[in-house]
Each structure stands twice: as C-alpha cells, then as structure tokens.
A and B are shown apart, each in its own frame.
Chain A
C-alpha cells in the first residue's frame, strides 16, 4: 500500500483553518458594528435555480448568484443573528473539542431567545454556515444523528480530547465501529486493505464480517445504513483519496439502491455547495437490474412510486449514459426489484462466495 499518501496533520490543520475562518467572520462583523455600519454577509444562493450540474466535476454545484444577508434589512436581522450565533456556537465546540448534533443546535439557540421555529430552520442555518465558510458541518463539529459503521484492518489515531494519540484497529470488534465524530476526525495510520466495500444494509455488513470478507478480499467494509450520512461519504472520500483505496458499492437492486451509489459517487443537490463529499471513482457493483435476471433473484413488482422515481432520475444529468441509464431502463423493462437478502434463496453465502467475486472481477475488467 502507498502509505506515503496519508497526512497525519491534515485533520488538525483543517480545524485550524476553520477556526481562522470563524475568527475572520467575527472580526468582519465586529469591525462593521464598531464603524457604525450594518454588518452583512454574502454567500452563494442555494435556490433551485442556482444549483447547476457541472459536467467536469460530474456533480451538482452552486452557480454564480449570491445572496446578501444584511443586518440592516429588518427581515434578515433575525436569521443574521442566528447565523452569527451559530458561528460562535461552533467556534466554542471547536475550541473545546466537543461535537454537537443537528438537534442540539436547535435546542441550544433557545438559550439566547433567538429560537429557531423548528429543526428544519436550524438545519437550514447550518447549511447557510456551510455555504458561507465553504465547509461541511462536520468540519465545525456538527454531526447528524444517523450513524453508519466501518469494519476492517485500519489503524486510526484519535484527535479528540482525552483520546489524542490513542490508536485503534478497526478490525478489533466484529460489530464494527460507528462513524461518529471521533472516527471522522481520526488520522489514518496504517492499513492492509486494498479496497472499500460499502453496503446498504446492516444485515449484509454483519454477514460480510462473519464470512470474513474483509480478510479474504483485503477490504474495509462500511455499512451506509441506507443513504449514507455525510460523515460516511466524507469517510469514503478520505479512504479513497488519502489511502488510494478503490470504493465499491453494493445496494439493493432497485432505483433507490442505484441512487445511493450515485450520491456516493457524484454527491447530492442538497450539498451542491460542498466539494469534498464525493468519490468520483467509486463503482456501483450491484444489484443491477440485469443481475435480477441473470441470478434469477426473487423479486417484487415495482410500485407506482418506484416507476415515477425512475423517470425522474432518467432526466437527471448525473444519470447521463453508462450503466446508469441502462440499469434504469432494465428496471423499467422488467418492472421488478430485488433486495440484497434475495440471494439467501440460494444459500446464505451465495452473495459472498459467488456474486461478490464475480461482480468484483467484472468491474475491475472494465
């Protein structure tokens, strides 16, 4: 493995950069107030019209239009105050080495009488801060509640307070490790893995551990728990970029599974303001529509909603060409879908012993 690639100071340097950005923001506002000028912030608009597909990056990005949030505007003053409060809140989190959840943020605001109406509003505000700083919320220590898991031979070193310098091998516990704030901010020290396999479901993740897949294939396995949270996508990207590991994605054989793979590869429109969440080289290895036929998998009929979703995605620029359009068409043609567990019909290990190796070798020969 190419271990030179990994950069142990990266995480702490990033934190330092975020801290500087926050301080700069604070000083800008402080100066304005002191000079008798109503402070304002300007950042790219996240309106639907400003989310455009970038062919080169193969993902959604924000366009040119900007929004100005000025404290002089009576309609902006509350969200402006909330934004600055949020900045000072995450600044404290970073300085104290603590993390917070989206829900925490929602409740914490209430101490200042600048309550958010609901969590959607506070989540929006967090996204605004992401756009303003050009950073993912995980960079300023705010994490969602959903957690996915990782297992495999990867040694990490914690950077969170109380654990600094402490190392752990992620193959030490068969249930895997939650990809939470401590893991997200840990440095990668060493690994024997040669690939990453992301699976959509916890059941299959456990099966893979039991069937020794990580050892047999020199793989790190990750349970995305459905559509992967951003910290998981960020982890996948780091594994791919810092450790040069190829990423393979295994999902249910339906339009939603295909889209989980797509979001890992090309990102989502919701995160059009963020660049470091995609793994463009990742590969979706299955279950494809065509696999349902080839492996004679037990399947169920597509619902109206499934078909509607397929037509929507057929128009999505990320789905242009390649296997993406092809497999959407297959689903439409056969009008059926299969879950990963469908392989169990042919024995519990069919998926690990027959399907996986076949698909991996197929994909590598592409």
Chain B
C-alpha cells in the first residue's frame, strides 16, 4: 500500500481556514458528536475507496460515565481496513492542523482529514484527552500513537507510542474523546449510517452505540466505483485567492509554462492564445504579478471562451449497478430505477448527477422521501433549501406521471463533483446552479417516466387479472342462460373467450 500517489504538502494556517471556510459542524455537543463520527467514517471510506479495498468499518461510541447526563464525554472509535498511514506521517497527520493529503482537486467526501483533525481538536479542547491512533500500512506492525495537538505552535505532542504485530492486516483506528450529546444526536447518526450504507453498499459497517446495541449494515455487492482521479483546476474555477497561491508556489519560470502546467485541459496552444488575450507577456515570471494584475488575470480566465470544457474522467460516480444494490439493500423496494447522467460542468468544475428511485416495498412509508447525497455524503439538514427539493417540488410536473401523491416513494439524488456547490457552511444543501438543476431535472424525469410505465403496466396486469376473474364468473352464466333460452342441448364453447381477454 505504500505505492500511494498521495502527496503530502504543508499548507499555511491561513490557507487552511480559507480553503475550509465552509466547514462548521462543531457548534454544539450533539452536532459535534454527529460531525466527529461523520468525519472519521468519511476518512475511512475515502481511504478504502482510493485503494479499492472493500471497506470494513467499525464504529463504537461509548460514554466515559454512563450515569452522567448528556452532554458528557464520549469516546468515539472508528476502525477501518484501509491502506493505513505510514507511521512517520502519523504525528503530523493527526497531531497538527493543516496537514493534508487532498491538496489537488479530486472528488472526495471532504477536503483532507481536516474534519478529522477538527474533531480531534474539539475533543482535546472539551475533554483534555489525547487522540489515540493505531495504524498499519505494511501489514506487519501496528503503530499506536497517543497525541495532543500543541495548539500554540501547531505541532504534535506525542504522549505515548507503542508497536504491536499486525498479523497481515492494514488499516487505521482513531479514538477521540469529546463532549457530546448522544441522546440528541442518535437519530441523525443512525440516519447517516443508513444513508451511507445506501450509497456505499460495498462496505460492511458495524455500529455499537453507548447502550451496547449493535447495528450491522451488511455489504450487498463486491463491486466498487472506480477511484477518483486527481485533476488540475480548470481556469473557469479559479478565484483570486487560489490563483495567488498557485502563482506563489509555481515552479515554472514563465507564464506560458505556468498556464499549461497548472490548468486542466490547457495545452501550449491554448495557453499562448489565452495569454495574448489577457495581454500578459508569455515570458513573465509567475511570481512577478502584482495584486491588481492577478485580479484582472482572474477576470480574463473567467471571460475567455477558448478553454475546453472540463472532462469528467476525474469523477467517480457511484454507478447504476452499485446505487441500485444500495437502494435495494436499505429500502427493499418493489420497484427501482437508477440513472447516471452524462458528465456536465459548472464554472469549470465537472460534475455528474445520479438519480435513484424506489417505490413500494415494506420499508417506505406513503409519501415522498428525498435522500440527498453529494460526493457520497448523505445530506441530512436543510432539505427544503436544497436544489433537489426545488426541482422535485417546483420543476417536475407530477401530473404527467400519474403517480398517486401518497405513493410510497423515495428519490435519491447524488451529485459528484471536484467541487460541490454547497450554499452555506455546514455542507448540508446545494446551491441552485442551472447546469446542475438541468441534470437533476432530466434525471428525475427519467426515473419518474420509468416508474410511471411500470405502474401502468402493473395496473393493466392487475386489470387483466381482475377482468379474467369477472369473466370466469359471468361467461358460464351467460352460456347457461343462452343455452336455456335457445333450447340447445349442450353449453356453447365459451371458454376460448376467456383467453381473448386482455
């Protein structure tokens, strides 16, 4: 597993906040518990998926003191069978903020373990307990670290280190103690796990809650989505701050080289044409641009229409087969329809929309339930502000599909992108991008059409069955009465008529 192409790069604290300004989620003990669980699980799943390992995730939440009322300290332990972390990176990866492996643009659940580090930090602040990380990347040795983040100088402070034999298994286990409120958070946590299981049906997820109840979300397929590829940013997707950083860090000595080395789908020809358009000397040093020049350069990047559309090969949709397996597993519907839309792009970011529909069965209640996912993360809050909600409730003409309003129905929307356009901090709902809206609309319409034709076929099958029953009752009577009336000796051959029904 050490063949990892992951690049560890140190970035500055200001950048950390800049890049992750959208991330909150540690606002109160209940939300903090939920967010910490979520971040740790997502890190584990991301790691397994990147290395194409069928995930085995074990989650345990236990109270330090059962008798104390909420909020109180909880120990969260999340263990995976992923690639593990090289022990020499562990102190920096877990004991220092702003140490990332997700620097380049790649579709992933979150921006590098920042969420995870945040959880560690939150735990440390509220309970003054170290994080315990045990990991094996070679399958031979498990390295265990207990460490604090030294907040002032941003360095890991290792309090204990140990080694055990790994017995051939790789993976990472992270244990955080933080103040949480399980009673309040439990519904969301269970819902999060269920929905995660729905879009990651290739994972085995085991959860033990503070009362000791164990819930197992069993793997339903061996197929995993292809891992996402890293990609350079597309010129349309760059803002001033990002460009500044790129220029500062650039290893190229000319703007021409800078352009064609650092941007997605920009070659020498396009780079030259663009720089002419932007009125910038091809041979200028990237580091020589002043702030005003950077601002107008970004404007030029956004206004130039000679760039190629981003390609979506870097994206990793769930795929129709896997999504269908997940929906089947968690919702056990009577009818299922799944579609993966062709790739599209907004503001230089490629994205793919996937839509699933489940109808009937024993799990779904009457009425429409919406399940929203972005880069395979379940979105559980602020449903009514989301673009999927808007499309379903305002853009789709339900009358066309003749689906009863109380039909037990679930619609699953998944948007994967190198950048998911969250509307606000908290990453819970998506902004109205016309490009995304169009793909959602087309996808939802398609699955509704399929349900509609299923229902009408089912309806006509039931109709025929009912009809045959009725005819089997009445035709013999008609035969009998007409025989009596006509004075014929035996009944007419009426049975062939039953075969004609339909």
Contacts and interface: CB of A to CB of B under 8 A. Distances in A.
- In this complex, the member of B467, B473, B481 whose beta carbon has the largest number of chain A beta carbons within 10 angstroms is B481
A38 B497 contact: yes
Interface string B473-498: 11101110111111110001110110
B263 interface: no
A114 B481 CA distance: 12
B88 interface: no
A308 B474 CA distance: 46
B474 A34 contact: no
Contacts of A87: 481, 485
Interface string A90-116: 011000000000000000000011100
Interface string A291-324: 0000000000000000000000000000000000
Contacts of B474: 71, 77-78, 80-81, 114
A237 to B, nearest CB: 29
A36 B500 CA distance: 9
Interface in B250-295: none
A84 B485 contact: yes
B497 A33 contact: yes
Interface residues of B, number: 23
Contacts, number: 84
A23 interface: yes
A30 interface: yes
Contacts of B11: none
Interface SS majority for chain A: helix
A128 to B, nearest CB: 15
Contacts of B478: 29, 33, 39, 71, 80-81, 84
B422 interface: no
A74 B487 CA distance: 27
A30 B486 contact: yes
B323 to A, nearest CB: 40
Given A23-B487, A74-B470, A114 B482 contact: no
A33 B477 contact: no
Contacts of A88: 481-482, 484-485
A23 B477 contact: no
A77 B477 CA distance: 11
B471 interface: yes
A117 B311 CA distance: 69
B471 A26 contact: no
A31 B486 CA distance: 10
Contacts of B475: 33, 71
Contact of B482 (A36, A38, A84, A113): A84
Nearest to B484: A88
Given A85-B481, A87-B481, A27 B496 contact: no
B500 A26 contact: no
Interface in B110-129: none
A356 interface: no
Nearest to A91: B485
B27 to A, nearest CB: 62
A112 B477 contact: yes
Interface in A47-106: 71, 74, 77-78, 80-81, 84-85, 87-88, 91-92
Contacts of B493: 33-34, 36
Contacts of B494: 33-34
A225 interface: no
A34 B495 CA distance: 9
Contacts of B482: 26-27, 29-30, 33, 39, 84, 88
A115 to B, nearest CB: 12
A239 interface: no
B486 A33 contact: no
A91 B484 CA distance: 9
Nearest to B487: A23
A81 B486 contact: no
Contacts of B481: 26, 29, 81, 84-85, 87-88
Contact of A26 (B473, B485, B497): B485
Contacts of B473: 113
Interface string A16-30: 000000110111011
B497 A29 contact: no
B479 A33 contact: yes
A101 B268 CA distance: 102
Contacts of A33: 475, 478-479, 482, 492-494, 497
Nearest to A87: B485
B485 A23 contact: yes
A81 B477 contact: yes
Nearest to B471: A77
A30 B478 CA distance: 9
A38 B486 CA distance: 17
Contact of B485 (A22, A34, A81, A113): A22
A27 B473 CA distance: 21
B34 to A, nearest CB: 55
12 contacts: A26-B484, A26-B486, A27-B488, A33-B492, A34-B493, A36-B496, A71-B478, A78-B474, A84-B477, A84-B485, A85-B477, A114-B474
Given A33-B478, A34-B494, 7 more contacts: A23-B486, A27-B482, A29-B478, A38-B497, A39-B482, A112-B477, A114-B474
For the complex of A and B, list the 3 residue pairs with the smallest distance between their C-beta atoms, beginning with the closest. Answer: A26-B485, A26-B486, A33-B492
